[in-house]
């Protein structure tokens, strides 16, 4: 019995040591990420990493290795508008940063340096990017919207990097409208419009901010209504 007890005790100690050894580096890396973000604004944290902003620059830190990466899409650039190139700055909007596992999805907003007379202010537009914090590489990337002054109204991301969002559009001379967009393996990694008030101008109206991810993580859903049918419509699509 003594030998059996000794064997069980040794096995238990070995198992515990293995667990601690496995957990140790990850815990140490998380501690390193927390230390790296100290004094900065942490905008999101998940089980696999976090994102923080310091001096207007957004960075991610992956707990598994402690890797720090600048989120893609930020910085100075020029975008075409009405036949000219407008210089400006693209920055991550801290209000629209979402994380699932090691993937982070976020809105990048471009703002021109100079005002544009046709829109009575700076030219602004946005894009959405899905980023792998482990590899430090972009998973999916949408182009900048062709519209003037769009904004992200809802955003969801899966642990495999698939992402879906709502664009809101507001114009001085037109009615506001909303579109639903996704990027996943079904779309070949390209952005694909699923629904929009502009697609169904005489049908239903999408409720802004109503985009969500199902508990199974396999579908996205959103709500719409119409003047003819007061009851809310529940619409959905797969997200792979």
Q: pLDDT by residue (tens digit) across 183-239?
A: 999 999 999 999 988 665 557 889 999 999 999 999 999 999 876 666 678 899 999
Q: Are the C-beta atoms of residues 36 and 70 closer than 8 Å to each other?
A: no
Q: Hey, CA dihedral for 190, 191, 195, 198, is it positive or negative?
A: negative
Give the residue from 132, 199, 197, 128 showing the smallest Cα distance to 164. Answer: 128
Q: Would you list the domain boundaries of the chain? A: 150-240
pLDDT at 13 over 50: no
Give the residue from 70, 64, 92 showing the smallest Cα distance to 138. Answer: 70
- Residue 138 to residue 75: CA distance in whole angstroms: 16
**pLDDT value for 7:** 36
What is the residue-averaged pLDDT of the chain? 86
Q: pLDDT by residue (tens digit) across 16-52?
A: 334 333 344 556 789 999 999 999 999 999 999 999 9
**pLDDT value for 229:** 63
CA distances from 86 to 96, 149, 171 (A): 24, 14, 20
DSSP string, 56-122: TEEEEEETTTTEEEEPTT-EEEEEEETTEEEEEEEEEEEEEEEEETTEEEEEEEEEEEEEEGGGTEE
Q: Are the C-beta atoms of residues 107 and 127 closer than 8 Å to each other?
A: yes
Q: pLDDT by residue (tens digit) across 144-198?
A: 988 788 999 999 999 999 999 999 987 655 567 899 999 999 999 999 999 988 6
**pLDDT value for 18:** 41
Give the residue from 109, 98, 102, 189 showing the smallest Cα distance to 142. Answer: 189
Q: Region 74-79: what's the mean pLDDT?
A: 97
pLDDT at 11 over 80: no
Q: Region 54-62: what's the mean pLDDT?
A: 97
């Amino acid at each position: 019995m003594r030998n059996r007890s000794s064997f069980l005790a040794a096995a238990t100690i070995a198992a515990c040591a293995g667990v601690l050894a496995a957990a140790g580096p990850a815990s140490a890396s998380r501690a390193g990420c927390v230390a790296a973000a100290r004094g900065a604004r942490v905008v999101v944290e998940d089980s696999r990493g976090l994102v923080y902003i310091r001096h207007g620059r957004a960075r991610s830190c992956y707990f598994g290795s402690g890797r720090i990466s600048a989120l893609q899409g930020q910085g100075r650039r020029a975008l075409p508008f009405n036949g000219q190139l407008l210089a400006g700055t693209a920055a991550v909007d801290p209000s629209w940063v979402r994380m699932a596992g090691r993937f982070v999805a976020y809105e990048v907003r471009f703002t021109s340096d100079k005002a544009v007379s046709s829109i009575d202010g700076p030219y602004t537009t946005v894009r959405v990017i899905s980023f792998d914090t482990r590899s430090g590489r972009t998973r999916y990337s949408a182009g900048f919207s062709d519209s003037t002054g769009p904004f992200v109204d809802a955003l969801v991301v899966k642990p495999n990097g698939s992402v879906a969002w709502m664009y809101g559009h507001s114009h001085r001379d037109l009615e506001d409208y909303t579109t639903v967009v996704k990027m996943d393996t079904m779309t070949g990694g390209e952005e694909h419009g699923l629904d929009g008030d502009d697609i169904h101008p005489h049908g239903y109206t999408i409720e802004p901010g109503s985009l969500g991810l199902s508990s199974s993580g396999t579908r996205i859903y959103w709500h719409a209504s119409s003047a003819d049918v007061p009851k809310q419509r529940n619409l959905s699509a797969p997200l792979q």
